Amino acid sequence: MPSFPDGFYYAHNELQIVGESPIRSPCALYMRIGEGLDMSKRIDLTGMQFGNWIVKDFIGVREVGNSKVKKAFWLCECQCEKKTLREIPTDSLKSGNSKSCGCEKTKALVKRSTKHGFARRGKNGTGIYHVWYAMINRCKNKNDKSYIDYGGRGICVCDKWADSFIAFKDWAFSNGYKEGLTIDRINNDGDYEPSNCRWTDYKTQANNKRGCRYVEIDGEIHTVMQWCEILDIPYSTVMGRKNRNKDKSYAELLQIPYKRRRKSA
């Protein structure tokens, strides 16, 4: 800590406490101690409201943590149903760093999630909300497991959809959305925007994925998924064959006869 004139101490942001011969700087006020603070010059916050906090009484001035910084603390009551009481320093009240016991954050979260009625379980259209949420997450959240293939490649969600679930929902229902369908980008290197998106089933989307495998058999070219449908072979069976026979091509694996198991009586 820098050296100050004898008899002064450092009170960061405690500009509401004025001691004898204060020294002001852009970020702090230094006050003479000796016989203590001149409390007659302290601004009384009792009865004032800061956010949801109502100041009930002055508690006192004390050091914060292991530092020598001293702050004035007030007993505050939150104006929510719980009527939570908490000791809050003056700077947190005046700066707005503390506005409530946490009830306002909870209300804001619930409002963002349920104002349209599509985020709650059991409500009609819940699926569309989760499609929107997952789309935003894989493009913006670096911790999402799919981010590397979306946001990591520069894929974005257009501002209209990113800023409003309602805008996305309205587009979805007017462009063929049904439960069980998935959003598909027509151009795999393009963004999520109305002109580049459509609703498809999972098979159609799988055939449009980046890095989709194309296989030629007898002069015909299709994706592995499409060949599985043509040859009536489960896609999982072909992928299982590939895992066990990595040296063989998909063309070879697709032409191995598939025997369906008979169901026991």
**DSSP character string of 189-256:** TS-BSGGGEEEE-HHHHHTTSTT--EEEETTEEEEHHHHHHHHT--HHHHHHHHHH-TTS-HHHHHTS
**Do 80 and 19 share a structural domain?**
yes
**Do 61 and 81 share a structural domain?**
yes
**Do 62 and 32 share a structural domain?**
yes
pLDDT tens string 148-175: 888 888 889 999 999 889 999 999 999 9
**Do 143 and 72 share a structural domain?**
no
Residues of the domain holding 235: 214-254
- Please enumerate, as own/partner, the contacts of 69-76 that have beta carbons within 8 Å and a separation of 24 or more: 69/10, 69/11, 69/12, 70/9, 70/11, 70/14, 71/11, 71/14, 72/14, 72/16, 72/17, 72/42, 74/45, 74/46, 76/50
In a domain, 263, yes or no: no
Residue 118 pLDDT level (bands cut at 50, 70, 90): low
Query: Given this model, what pLDDT does residue 209 score?
Result: 59
Query: Given this model, what pLDDT does residue 202 score?
Result: 61
The chain-wide mean pLDDT, for the chain, equals 75
In a domain, 111, yes or no: no
In a domain, 190, yes or no: yes
Residue 22 pLDDT level (bands cut at 50, 70, 90): very low
Query: Given this model, what pLDDT does residue 113 score?
Result: 54
Is 262's pLDDT higher than 60?
yes
Contact 213, 250 (CB under 8 A): yes
Domain finish residue from 189, 206, 223: 206
Query: Taking the CB of residue 257, how many other CB atoms lie within 10 A of it?
Result: 6
**Alpha-carbon gap, residue 141 to 134, rounded angstroms:** 10
- From the list 101, 42, 98, 102, the residue with the least C-alpha distance to 70 is 42
**Alpha-carbon gap, residue 8 to 23, rounded angstroms:** 9
Is 116's pLDDT higher than 80?
no
Is 4's pLDDT higher than 50?
no
Domain finish residue from 48, 73, 105: 105
Who has greater pLDDT, 256 or 209?
Answer: 256
Query: What residues have CB less than 8 Å from 37, skipping those under 6 apart?
Result: 17, 19, 31, 61
* Residue 69: both structure tokens together: 């910084």
**SS3 call for 136:** helix
Who has greater pLDDT, 101 or 213?
Answer: 101
Query: Given this model, what pLDDT does residue 264 score?
Result: 56
The full length of the chain comes to 265
How many domains would you assign to the chain? 3
Query: Given this model, what pLDDT does residue 17 score?
Result: 38
**Alpha-carbon gap, residue 5 to 127, rounded angstroms:** 66
Give the mean pLDDT of 52-60: 92
**Alpha-carbon gap, residue 260 to 5, rounded angstroms:** 91
Query: Given this model, what pLDDT does residue 65 score?
Result: 72
pLDDT tens string 212-249: 677 788 888 777 777 787 888 887 888 888 888 888 88
Query: Given this model, what pLDDT does residue 20 score?
Result: 40
Query: What residues have CB less than 8 Å from 143, skipping those under 6 apart?
Result: none
**Do 129 and 90 share a structural domain?**
no
Who has greater pLDDT, 71 or 213?
Answer: 71
